[in-house]
Structure 1
Amino acid sequence: MVDQNDSTEVQLEPSPVYWNNCICLSFLEMAKSLLTSSLSTRTKLLQTGVSLYNTSHGFHEEEVKKLLEQFPGGSIDLQKKQNGIGILTLNNPSKLNAFSGVMMLQLLEKVIELENWTEGKGIIVHGAKNTFCSGSDLNAVKSLSTPEDGVALSMFMQNTLTRFTRLPLISVALIQGWAMGGGAELTTACDFRLMTLESEIRFVHKEMGIVPSWGGASRLVEIIGSRQALKVLTGALKLDSKKALNMGMVDEVLQSSEEAKSLEEAQEWLVQFVNGPPEVIRGLKKSVCSGKELYLEEALQNERDLLGTLWGGPANLEALAKKGKHIK
């Protein structure tokens, strides 16, 4: 019998269930913290001007730039028009517009310029002299032959093309002639792809004893699905305009194969998607990017924040005023 007057304090040991609950709560809090950190990182990556890799990944951009400077040839040209459409030209026709090291550096420079083009709404990527791009200049490839060189180059181009993909511009690849290897990968970094009748896309990486390394395989899966992507990559398939259209790789086959006329057609095709105020078009592209890359909760938050920059703004008020005139 227990003496009710006994003031001795009884120490009770926590039960195993108690400790299990504590451990579970601890793990849940840790998981929540890690998830929040991961979401925050993913959101930051979508911000303009943020690179995919840095020194924490073993990527040293300045060292890679010094390597690429050793391989001159060709240029990346950018024309920004008053209608908000830019024309990005791969200009190395003597080598079927293959990327030299200097061209890779210039592509990053042009992407940075486009990141700061606040009036821009769309961008068309094409190659000079009726050829899109035949990949990388073999002189650079042969010289940068170690696995370390290959990985560094891969990280550089993944950085550049990911930043290009995340531009708040509607992007179109105009494929004239060949788009091979790295050129084929570049087409996947665009929102849309247009081909001329005689053009061809081919991922030839298998025949070079490698895999796509500029992000092309991952983006190809997103465009045509994993089964079709596996066929295209393992078969090094030649995708003419008909096959590419049927597969969903391209959005339309243009009527003209002449360089200037097909570029004009591409601009006319793009106009239907960039017709409107820059802030609205750019906001829509950002919304799609966040929906594609972020978890749902954060994508919804991003969408809400974008709306906050547009609701009650000039374009919104002007549209409401116009609609009011038609209400009877």
Structure 2
Amino acid sequence: MADGEGGLIMEFDKMASLLKTAPVPVRTKLLHQIGLSLYNTSHGFHEEEVKKTLQQFPGGSIDLQKEENGIGILTLNNPSKMNAFSGVMMLQLLEKVIELENWTEGKGVIVHGANNTFSSGSDLNAVKALGTPEDGRALCMFMQNTLTRFMRLPLISVAVVQGRALGGGAEFTTACDFRLMTTESEIRFVHREMGIIPSWGGTTRLVEIIGSRQALKVLSGALRLNSEKALHIGIADEVLQSSDESGCLKEAREWLQQFIQGPPEVIRALKKSVSSGKELCLEEALQTERDILGTLWGGPANLEAVARRGKFRK
């Protein structure tokens, strides 16, 4: 190793040590919130009771396939009901999110629906049975918890929208970092027609994605967003050429691959840093950025890249 290179690496080691021992801010940072829920008993939320209730509504499944390239494929699988979420599927979604939280080799996740459609939202059997305001708030808190944990995953997430994403299905797409559609697909927030508002966090996330004026139009008009309209207002990121399930997944993998090149620890750190910038105040976001850097600076990927660049410049 050249003397200059060795000196540079020693400086990296010193800086990494300083960053790792820096004091943690008083307020809890997003970096340390991964895996934690928004609500608990202090909010009147009793998760185990909600789980027992949801268990009474079976049907369908949430399937997860973890590939060696660091991409997870999350499938909403209830095709007889356009992949509507049964109570059991809501429980399974939380289980899969927890599994993804612990997947240290993961870099990205693709969400799609079985049988060429995304999801029609909540299963009406569960909706009809859970008819009180108390039931609605409990379900709201459960799904807000789950989708917020999904959103905070240190994985770059993509929703592949084939067919229709309605109601809660439309809300789920907003918990993903990106949305890919087909020429025939549609996203529609139908909540107004059901006499409610999006309550899985969809309103809040939609405002962030397309702004308050556009979000108000989309929600109050229950607008049908085909791929052209969705691309125009910024809710969709790209329109896929394929229309069948396997073709769409192949395109989605290729599309996602451009954003997950590199070691898992670097991609995951980038996602954490962006999430903190989105959710935290400026000071906390900067401190979180500093702490995340402390986990990478002077690490294997950093030192290898520095050595590689040094050789290129000789």
Q: TM-score, normalised by structure 1?
A: 0.87
2:244 partner letter:
E
Number of aligned pairs? 290
| Residue of 40, 47, 53 corresponding to 2:39 | 53
Deviation at 1:119, TM superposition (A): 0.4
Q: 1:220-243 CA deviation, whole Å, 9 max, x = no partner? A: 000000000000000000000000
| Residue of 88, 103, 118 corresponding to 2:74 | 88
Which residues of 2 match residues 106-185 of structure 1 at below 5 A?
Answer: 106-185=92-171
| Secondary structure class of the residue paired with 1:228 | helix
Which residues of 2 match residues 222-261 of structure 1 at below 5 A?
Answer: 222-261=208-247
Deviation at 1:207, TM superposition (A): 0.3
Amino-acid identity (%): 80
| Residue of 203, 213, 237 corresponding to 1:217 | 203
| Residue of 65, 70, 87 corresponding to 1:101 | 87
**In 2, distance between residues paired with 1:250 and 1:221?**
14
| Distance of aligned partners of 1:254 and 1:175 in 2 relative to their CA distance in 1, 3 Å threshold | same
| Secondary structure class of the residue paired with 1:126 | strand
| Distance of aligned partners of 1:60 and 1:45 in 2 relative to their CA distance in 1, 3 Å threshold | farther
Contact conserved, 1:173 with 1:190, CA < 8 A, in 2?
yes
1:40 aligns with 2:27: yes
| Range 314-323 or range 121-130, more displaced | 314-323
**Residue of structure 1 in register with 2:7 after alignment:** none
| Secondary structure class of the residue paired with 1:284 | helix
Deviation at 1:47, TM superposition (A): 2.0
**In 1, distance between residues paired with 2:80 and 2:32?**
36
| Distance of aligned partners of 1:224 and 1:178 in 2 relative to their CA distance in 1, 3 Å threshold | same
Contact conserved, 1:46 with 1:290, CA < 8 A, in 2?
no
| Secondary structure class of the residue paired with 1:201 | strand
**In 2, distance between residues paired with 1:250 and 1:241?**
7
**Residue of structure 2 in register with 1:312 after alignment:** 298
1:194 aligns with 2:177: no
| Distance of aligned partners of 1:159 and 1:240 in 2 relative to their CA distance in 1, 3 Å threshold | same
Contact conserved, 2:148 with 2:175, CA < 8 A, in 1?
yes
Contact conserved, 1:39 with 1:294, CA < 8 A, in 2?
no
Higher relative contact order (CA 8 A, sep 6+): 2
| Secondary structure class of the residue paired with 2:241 | coil
Contact conserved, 1:135 with 1:179, CA < 8 A, in 2?
yes
**In 1, distance between residues paired with 2:230 and 2:30?**
34
| Distance of aligned partners of 1:55 and 1:274 in 2 relative to their CA distance in 1, 3 Å threshold | same
Deviation at 1:44, TM superposition (A): 5.7
**In 2, distance between residues paired with 1:259 and 1:69?**
29
For structure 1, the 5+ residue unaligned runs are 1-37
Query: RMSD of the TM alignment (CA)?
Result: 1.1
Deviation at 1:77, TM superposition (A): 0.1
| Secondary structure class of the residue paired with 1:40 | coil
| Secondary structure class of the residue paired with 1:273 | coil
**In 1, distance between residues paired with 2:241 and 2:313?**
41
1:297 aligns with 2:283: yes
Contact conserved, 1:277 with 1:315, CA < 8 A, in 2?
yes
**Residue of structure 1 in register with 2:21 after alignment:** none
Deviation at 1:45, TM superposition (A): 8.0
**In 2, distance between residues paired with 1:264 and 1:319?**
30
Contact conserved, 2:30 with 2:280, CA < 8 A, in 1?
no
**In 1, distance between residues paired with 2:182 and 2:219?**
22
**In 1, distance between residues paired with 2:266 and 2:31?**
21
Q: 1:93-131 CA deviation, whole Å, 9 max, x = no partner? A: 000000000000000000000000000000000000000
For structure 2, the 5+ residue unaligned runs are 1-24
1:195 partner letter:
M
Deviation at 1:211, TM superposition (A): 0.4
| Secondary structure class of the residue paired with 2:157 | strand
| Secondary structure class of the residue paired with 2:259 | helix
Contact conserved, 1:134 with 1:178, CA < 8 A, in 2?
yes
Which residues of 2 match residues 272-283 of structure 1 at below 5 A?
Answer: 272-283=258-269
| Secondary structure class of the residue paired with 1:118 | coil
1:271 aligns with 2:257: yes
* Structure with the greater alpha carbon radius of gyration: 1
Deviation at 1:321, TM superposition (A): 1.6
